[in-house]
Chains A and B, each alone.
Chain A
């Protein structure tokens, strides 16, 4: 299992064929609005739209669920702690614990938000190769350094992971068994230390190798961004969705 794979990147759905820049902007605006929204109407609509995007992108539902499971642990923790600790109107009691209404609402909001955001990101930003994502970012005038950092990071997370695996194997074959003792802590401290050192010297050498191949700070991608009617249609659709959920969220402010 690798931390980073481009599982969703290959595909032929409509969403895969949309201009990456449009997808990056849509994803950014959509997720920011969801993140700051409070109304349940908005969040439920957002959830519905995210789910539609996933379907539209033809993503394998099992793989999507697998990725959602990553945040399940975090959500369970929130459901256990927040409803019990929040001050406010009591909903019901379980034994000595009183479950608070505002806490339940907050947990529900967090759950809806995080699941929707994750699904939107999978449908919009994971449906392109990482290098394309980097290229789209640089075309959107996001600082070259940042894009550079992003590209190198995603690539070298894999290397660090391998490096870590290698170190673990190295200590295992020499009979290391983790326990709760000084030896264990020290060993792990060394491993983490050496990992940082290796990662940074690796980064230096990669940058050298890139310069040797004529790199001057600008990323050029082989992926074409074709202009196509569907880009216009998709943009219009995303704008409508964004306006719709914004009205759900903030419409009451301009009602009178």
Chain B
């Protein structure tokens, strides 16, 4: 018998719009199961970041129901647990890093989760090593390069040992080698994630299926395929392989 997978995120007819604009999320239905690894690729301004922020409770939908870890979430209090268990990597690392030194920034999350100082420092060092940033402990966060910031931001999330990752363009601005490192890291993690990226090759390496956001709704590969090819591949002009080909 097939064991049914746990549902992590379930959005039911969720809508969100800014005043006087077309809806960004339009009665969107979406279900995300445990152990899924999803890539998401959609044009600029299509609402990917908005989608993540809705899941984390940073912005509130106009209408619709959200269930996370099989519990309905509406109030700020409900989202506290969500934020402990789901890690969101922000699109702009400058939003994420605010402590003077790298070590302090990474320790910030574990400390908030109730870890002792020693534990937090230990976790932070281990995470840095895991990411491949040994010796970065005392670097000043705002003096790092863009790519280094991105890696440290990823470390701040991983240090909280989340069950789920939402990564908003983790590969943007990274060189090929660093990108490969992130690919390896993601593949070695035994957790579920949704990754937004504009790079098809990167996404197909790390995910089992690629989704897109189109006119406020999420479409899976199958739907995309039937739908229209160019929605899935804004960069379809570049040579690439399709899964199951």
Q: Report which A residues bind B (CB closer than 8 A).
A: 6, 129-131, 151-152, 155-156, 158-159, 162, 202, 205-206, 208-216, 220-222, 224
* With known contacts A208-B53, A208-B58, A209-B95, A214–B100 Cβ distance under 8 A: no
**Which of A209, A212, A222 contacts B111, CB < 8 Å?**
A222
- Would you call B95 and A206 a contact (CB within 8 A)? yes
Contact partner of A205 (CB less than 8 A), chosen from B92, B113, B120, is: B92
Known: A130-B100, A131-B104. A159 touches B94 (CB 8 A): yes
Looking at chain B's contact residues, the main secondary structure is: helix
Chain B 154-169 per-residue mask, 1 if CB under 8 angstroms from chain A, else 0: 0011001000000000
Size bracket of the B interface = 20 to 34
B125 CB to closest chain A CB, in angstroms? Answer: 11
Cβ contacts under 8 Å, A206 to chain B = 95-96, 98
List 22 contacting pairs A-B, 8 Å CB cutoff, sorted by A: A6-B100, A6-B140, A129-B104, A130-B100, A131-B104, A151-B98, A155-B98, A205-B90, A206-B96, A206-B98, A209-B88, A210-B98, A211-B58, A212-B56, A212-B58, A213-B157, A214-B109, A214-B112, A220-B111, A220-B112, A222-B111, A222-B121
Across-interface contacts of A216 in B (CB, < 8 A): 80, 112
- In the assembled complex, the Cα of A76 lies from the Cα of B84 at a distance in Å of 55
Q: How far is the CA of A211 from the CA of B117 in the complex (A)?
A: 20
Min CB distance, B27 to chain A, in Å? 25
Please give me the 4 A-B residue pairs with the lowest Cβ-Cβ distance, nearest first: A214-B112, A213-B109, A220-B111, A205-B95
* Min C-beta distance of B236 to chain A, whole Å: 32
Q: Considering the complex, which residues of chain B in the window 62-106 have a beta carbon less than 8 Å from any beta carbon of chain A?
A: 80, 83-84, 87-88, 90, 92, 94-96, 98-101, 103-104
How long is the Cα–Cα vector from A108 to B153 in the complex, in angstroms?
Answer: 50
CA distance A209 to B88 in the complex (A): 8
User: For residue A6, which residue of chain B has the nearest CB?
Assistant: B100
Q: Is B108 on the interface with A (CB-CB < 8 A)?
A: yes
